[in-house]
Structure 1
Amino acid sequence: MRTRSFTSFRVAAAALWLGAAVLRPGAAVPALQAQEAPARDDPIASLVGRLTLDNYKTTLKGLTQFGDRRQGTQRNRDAVDWIETQLQAFGCTNTERIFYTYPPPPPPDAAPRGTPPRGGGVRRRPGPNEGDLTTATGGLVGRRGPGSGGSTLFGYRGPTGVNRDLMAQPDERIRELNREEPVDGERSEVYCTKVGTTRPDEMYIIGAHMDGHGVNEAVNDDGSGTALVMELARVFSAPDVETERSIRFVLWNNEETGLNGARAYVAQRQELQGIENPPGSGQYPEPRWVGMVQHDMMLWDHGAPGPDGLVSRNQRPEADVNIEFQSNSEMADESMKLAFFFKAANEDYATDYPAAVGPHMTNTDSTPFMDIVPAISLRENERGAQVGAGWDPNWHQPTDVWTTYSDDDFRLGLNAAQTTLAALAQLTAAKLDN
């Protein structure tokens, strides 16, 4: 564990940041007073210590048996079932499902099919000397083009896109896992909940998407985030762990098709927040949301592409956990404060990699929440300026398989888990029943 630097000044600053913005009015910032205590008396350090590289890799490896887990396929449905079984085995036994249909019905005011999208229907080609490429979603990224998050990257970039070619995957076993094509219809996603002891009506949502594509094993995108959330569920569900506030662990489906699973959750559950059911029971099927934390691609921070468009095979010494909020969201100020709280937790409890905060959270399952509740995303690189500029050459490619990654890569995902667990333990006033 790195040397502690969480001084009394920063404890006060964190309390000031969170205050009423993230917590309810008058609520104290939980557990911050314990930050100065020796590690042996610190329940947060004890909880973080229950995260291990071997456990993280074991859970992530289990996801690879289902290939890329592409939505609308049997391998996706089998993976959802497996995740639910694992969560129950981890002690998070109150699993539930969200059901929805993909594709969703068009809104009443939708334009007829074939109508060009707003802003013009043709992707513009790069101008002279721009050296840019369009992303898979049509956003321009490069020296003079804004990325999908509004960022601009000055420098070289690598190609991006989505592999749909089965034969581009050289591993015959992985090809066979991914042979089935998706079919429209009903979808489901699973979640479970750590119920708070004294404030069960307040809840943090901790998410990652379990679906992928690219004819691969979807190890990084987003097996790495899915395994992280499942490992957090394991630690918080231990019988000797109590939290004052509730925590919901959600594994979204249909992220790759437009955040459909997260959008379905918001559509179905937002209006149920804070309603006691049955009345007087002390049970809250949908506690009031006080924060949403997404985890999407956690492993690969190897630096920018070189002049040849290639990225180093080795994790760079400057690798870090990127914590992002969206600066043009309705909850931007509160989300920024939450992001910096997570950064402080990383500095005090993560073992290997630091954290950096950025303002361009985009194209991930926290997006449907960002105008409703403080929302942040943890990932390997900045989504708009770096992932969108080819910093991760395995993104949606046949190379997103287990053998691509080293323990240096897996450890970056573990450090993201340490960061979230440490921050969440403080925000929910977690304690150990000794």
Structure 2
Amino acid sequence: MKPTVALSIALAIAANAAHAQTSPAADPISSLVGQLELEKYKATIKSLTRFGDRRQGTERNRQALDWIEAQLKAYGCSNVERLQYQFTEPAVRGKPAVAAGGGAGGPPGQGGSTLFGNRAPTGVNTDPMKQPDERLRALNAEQTPQGTSLRENVYCTKIGKTRPDEMYIVSAHMDGIGFGEAANDDGSGTALVMELARIFSAPGVETERSIRFALWNNEETGLNGAAAYVEQRKNLQGIESPKGSGKYPEPRWLGMIQHDMMMFDHGMPVPKLDEAGKPVLDAKGHQVYVLPKDQRAEADVNIEFQSNSKQAEASARLAWDFRAANDKYATNYPAAVGCHMTNTDSTPFMDLVPSISLRENERGQQIGSGWNPHWHQPTDLYSNYSDKDFLLGLNAAQTTLAGVAKLVGAKVVKP
């Protein structure tokens, strides 16, 4: 564990400022990482929560897409585009629906592992009346329409100076469910990708290779937005268009980095104690467990690949590259590498290109054991996370920014 984990948020912000003061000539990656700010990251998440849970197929989802696109353009992102696909309701999470007209359902989640420890119930809230906030309940009132209709992803591209035909994909999903604000799942990942797009698109930042910043739709229905992208774009990789132009609408994929649920790492349920410090029992004499309110001391940034994928070896190398980036550039939280990436938008890519996912709360273990009480619930609200939680997400952003910056040969020049 890094010793800075226990420091105050004020010291964390000071550490970020120290990064920014590093000479760009000495280390351009440190200069870029130093531009990540806790308050900006929080503000972007807060703005996303204005659209409620951003459930796919709804007007609030479309409004969120419009806002994300406008922000990317304001950052100076080049080639802001949308990818359209047809999606058919209903769909069951983990059993992908067929996306007509060029799209395709994502494969079921693979991998996962058994977690030994205290467990809590899990589930997806489908009852809007469980949201006590009347304003938010009204905002989330529209249900997804049945039948087949159009969906969209949005993305922009930082074009490489010397190798525009090669790129890394940095992504998150912008849709959510549960009748809350989807602040962590996945406003936290969406904000991370948007912050990286802002920094890499700033004047004076150059990269040798390209970076695509993608915000997927329909993750919650079975990874359909990411799967549609793979189906429509995989055979266009590295093709110059028009020929001789030096332009590559779909550069060859070198790696895919997904971000899903960046902020919550509070640990397993613990025994509930009475005022005397004795265990509380229920009516049947069973021990009562409660989920910790505060972040656990051993919180970390998870970096996961899938050991069952065709690109497992290369994905593992990519994961360890990001672990090294965390060791050098993250200010507060360490990183841990795992091999059970599952049920997130990197899955449709993982047999085609080295793919990893950051944070996702050790999805195959902790989420499945009920360690996150806000997962797909009305309580996934901005107000239910502390600065330590937000700082964990910012450290994931530091990790990805540093890892990608090295891979694409980023440098800072005078604009």
Q: Is the 8 A contact 2:110 2:308 kept in 1?
A: no
Does residue 149 (structure 1) correspond to residue 111 (structure 2)? The answer is yes
Q: What letter matches 1:182 in structure 2?
A: T
Alpha-carbon contact 1:159-1:309 (below 8 Å) kept: no
Q: Which residue of 2 aligns with 1:85?
A: 70
CA contact (8 A) 2:255 2:355 kept: yes
Structure 1 residues 309 and 160, CA gap change in structure 2 (3 angstroms): farther
Structure 1 unmatched ranges of 5 or more:
5-37, 114-138, 140-146
Q: Deviations over 1:342-361 (max 9, x none)?
A: 00100100011000000000
* Selected match of 1:406 from 386, 389, 404: 386
User: Which runs of structure 2 are paired with 1:226-375 in the superposition (5 Å)?
Assistant: 226-307=190-271, 308-375=288-355
Deviation at 1:245, TM superposition (A): 0.2
Matches for 1:199-218 after TM superposition, within 5 Å = 199-218=163-182
Instruction: Tell me, yes or no, if the aligned pair for 1:148 and 1:384 is still in contact at 8 Å.
Output: no
- How far is the alpha carbon of 1:309 from its aligned partner? 4.2
1:374-403 Cα deviation digits (max 9, x unpaired): 000001521101111111110000100011
Amino acid at match of 1:154: F
CA distance in 2 between partners of 1:66 and 1:292 (Å):
27
Alpha-carbon distance in 1 for matches of 2:38, 2:47: 14
> Percent identity between the aligned chains?
68
Q: Deviation at 1:104?
A: 8.2
Identify the residue that residue 285 of structure 2 maps to in structure 1: none
Does 1:165 pair with 2:127? yes
Does the 8 Å CA contact 2:118/2:268 hold for their aligned counterparts? yes
Counterpart in 2 of 1:56?
A: 41
CA distance in 2, matches of 1:433, 1:103: 47
Distance in 1 between residues matched to 2:369 and 2:111, nearest whole Å:
11
Structure 1 segments of 4+ aligned residues over 4 angstroms from their partners: none
Partner-residue secondary structure (3-state), 2:137: helix
CA distance in 2, matches of 1:63, 1:352: 25
Q: Which residue of 2 aligns with 1:43?
A: 28
Contact persistence 2:56–2:144 (CA under 8 A):
yes
Residue 298 of structure 2 aligns to a residue whose secondary structure is coil
1:369 maps to amino acid? F
SS in 2 for 1:313: coil
The 3-state SS of whatever aligns with 2:64 is: helix
**Distance (whole Å) between structure 1 residues aligned to residue 168 and residue 110 of structure 2:** 27
- How high is the TM-score relative to the length of structure 1? 0.81
How much does 1:277 deviate? 0.2
Equivalent residue of 2:270, what SS? coil
Give yes or no for contact 2:112–2:342 (8 Å, CA) kept in 1. Answer: no
Matched AA of 2:179: V
Q: Give the match for residue 281 of structure 2.
A: none
Q: CA deviation at 1:149?
A: 3.3
Tell me the TM-score normalized by structure 2.
0.85
CA–CA separation in structure 2 for the residues paired with 1:402 and 1:323: 24
| Superposition pairs of residues 412-427 of structure 1, within 5 angstroms | 412-427=392-407
Unaligned runs of 5+ in 2: 5-20, 99-107, 272-287
Count of residue pairs the alignment pairs up: 363
1:19 maps to none
The residue aligned with 1:379 is 359
Q: Secondary structure at the match of 1:101?
A: strand
Quick one: distance in 2 between partners of 1:275 and 1:153? 45
- Residues of 1 paired with 2:379 and 2:66: CA distance? 26
CA pair 242-104 structure 1, distance change in 2 beyond 3 A? farther
Query: Which residue among 216, 219, 227 is the counterpart of 2:183?
Result: 219
Maintained 8 Å contact 2:306/2:312? yes
